[in-house]
Amino acid sequence: MITLHNLSKKVGSRTLFDNVTLTFNKGARYGLTGPNGCGKSTLLKIIMGFTSPESGSVSLPEKVGFLRQNIEDYQDYSVLDAVIAGNTKLFSAFKEREELYEQEMTDATGMRLAELEEIVAEEDGYTAESDAEMLLEGMGVDAELFQKPLREIPLDKQFRALLCQALYGNPDALILDEPTNHLDLTSIGWLEQFLINYKGALIVVSHDRHFLNAVTTQIADIDYETLIIYPGNYDDMLTAKTSVRERAENENKAKEKKAAQLREFVAKFGAGSRASQVQSRIREIQRLEPKELKKSNIQRPYIRFQDPEKASGQIVYAIKGLQKTYDEHLVIDGFSLDIERGDKIGVIGSNGAGKTTLLKLLQGALDPTAGSIGLGHGVETGYFPQNHHEIVDKSHKVSIFDWLKERTNGVYDQDIRGVLGKMLFSGDDAFKSVPNLSGGEMARLILADLMLKKPNVLILDEPNNHLDLESVSALAAGVDTYPGTAIIAAHDRDLLDQFATKILSFEPEGLVFFDGTLQQYFASKC
């Protein structure tokens, strides 16, 4: 188990959490939640000893699996070795054993080798490679990559190898920060089942609501300058948290109403003969003084894509025999489809399968190798790239207000301020410098741009990346009510479930169109 003792942390003048004492128990699976910037990653770094708290301490079990982001430290490791390195004691024993075998054999060397063999046996080292292979296969890493240096495999597979590193070696506790990043839906499903069967203490941060609901048994929510444990999954926490807050607010309103009535009595009879009754009511007013409620750090943007200024034709895209290759690698082969006005299409498939390529072809940012994409009458697209820097140049030192004004002709200043407010850039935040934006802020800025432009077709490539759970929910609601055509690539099932009525799936046999929801698509595969 993991225990926090009187833990406190500030960033500048802002308190993230203060004097927190609690235990993450073995056998329980905790989702660590709160909006971007609330301190989730900071808390995980404190637990692992990478960052110091203002005060307090952390107690950890002997083995802790942690999802690392320092890929560069493992670039020269084989994929298998990068995974096995998750068990530091075993990996060190393997390395020392290998070095000793290259030396002249002496009595001391032989004795040390015997000690190392005991460590290998205790740490299940004789099945190390097969255990690592099983994890990698579950994560969708092909067997032919196992012996390659990490630097030579695709970047998303490198992240998967580090996730396997965290899971390797039966750790007593697991700490995972956004483990579903770089995973396709199949790998996410495998990870869910692995974690559900895991017997240690799990702490996981994720912006994937479906994943949290499937995996977690408790939620540790950072809010009100503390850490509050709620039983159940993420949806259960939202219900409980909202109820507690509403009850406290209603109690304060009732107290204020009663106090107001008593004040009227005091004002009316304060100078009369009913002094004892007046004093009694003054004491009651003091007792009824409402408790000051700490402000919640939850903020939810309001995302609504307005009616387009003009509608597109009935056929938005007429795709005929579409083909795209990269250096003889065939990504899309002979695909044809008519996309109609009002279609809400979710694009799914493994990383590297071609989702981004398809969206760039539709956007006109890429040319097909063969075939054609006919653009319908009056089509005006709004594009959200997976790589934000394709739209937002961080070297362009302007405020976000000026950036939006530059990109939208004839827009009024109050309209820009209104949209920025809806996207949580209120007050002086509207004049934040573009180069200083976080990933989540940049995503909200691009969405603000789309809200101002009023396109009749939305093409969004993994828009949920960098957004917190509240923002992803707001985005899903915005797309669901959008009257135009939406084509969105995502791995977030909650987002896909809420808006998509048709599915484009990259499968081993090619690009497949399914007329139905994501749940219906999965049901058809059974």
Q: What is the pLDDT of residues 371-420, one digit of tens each?
A: 999 999 999 999 999 989 888 887 878 999 999 998 888 888 999 999 99
The dihedral through the CA atoms of 67, 73, 78, 82 has a sign that is negative
Give the span between the Cα atoms of 331 and 352, in whole angstroms. 9
- At 182, phi and psi to the nearest 5? 75, 10
CATH class of 2-94+126-233: alpha beta
The answer to whether 172 and 62 have CB atoms below 8 angstroms apart is yes
pLDDT tens track for 210-245: 999 999 999 999 888 889 899 999 989 888 887 666
Give the span between the Cα atoms of 163 and 156, in whole angstroms. 11
521: tokens are 């698509």
Taking residues 270-297, what's their average pLDDT?
65
The dihedral through the CA atoms of 465, 470, 474, 480 has a sign that is positive
The answer to whether 420 and 448 have CB atoms below 8 angstroms apart is yes
What pLDDT shows up at residue 244? 64
* pLDDT greater than 70 at residue 272: no
* Eight-state DSSP code of residue 389: G
Give the span between the Cα atoms of 380 and 378, in whole angstroms. 6
3-state secondary structure of 340: strand
pLDDT band per the 50, 70, 90 thresholds, residue 475? very high
The answer to whether 203 and 176 have CB atoms below 8 angstroms apart is yes
Smallest Cα–Cα separation from 510: which of 372, 332, 383, 358? 332
What pLDDT shows up at residue 288? 63
What pLDDT shows up at residue 269? 66
* pLDDT greater than 60 at residue 173: yes
Query: How many other C-beta atoms are found inside a 10 Å radius of the C-beta of residue 27?
Result: 11
Same fold, 2-94+126-233 and 315-525: yes
Q: Which class for 402: exposed (0-12), middle (13-18), buried (19 or more C-beta within 10 A)?
A: middle
Q: Which of 66-70, 161-165, 286-290, 394-398 has the lowest mean pLDDT?
A: 286-290
What pLDDT shows up at residue 247? 67
- Strand order through the sheet with 201-205: 64-66, 173-177, 201-205, 29-33, 218-223, 226-231
* pLDDT greater than 80 at residue 251: no
The answer to whether 473 and 35 have CB atoms below 8 angstroms apart is no
Find which of 168-177, 241-250, 266-275 is predicted with most confidence, using mean pLDDT.
168-177
What pLDDT shows up at residue 275? 64
Give the span between the Cα atoms of 508 and 420, in whole angstroms. 42
Taking residues 297-304, what's their average pLDDT?
82
Domain ranges of the chain: 2-94+126-233, 237-287, 315-525
Q: How does the average pLDDT of the chain come out, rounded?
A: 87
Task: Mark 70-107 as b/e (b = at least 16 C-beta within 10 Å).
Answer: eeeebeebbbbbbbbbbbeebbebbeebeebeeeeeee
What pLDDT shows up at residue 223? 85
Sequence-separated (6 or more) residues with CB below 8 Å from residue 41: 177, 205
Range 315-525 classified under CATH 3.60.21.10: no
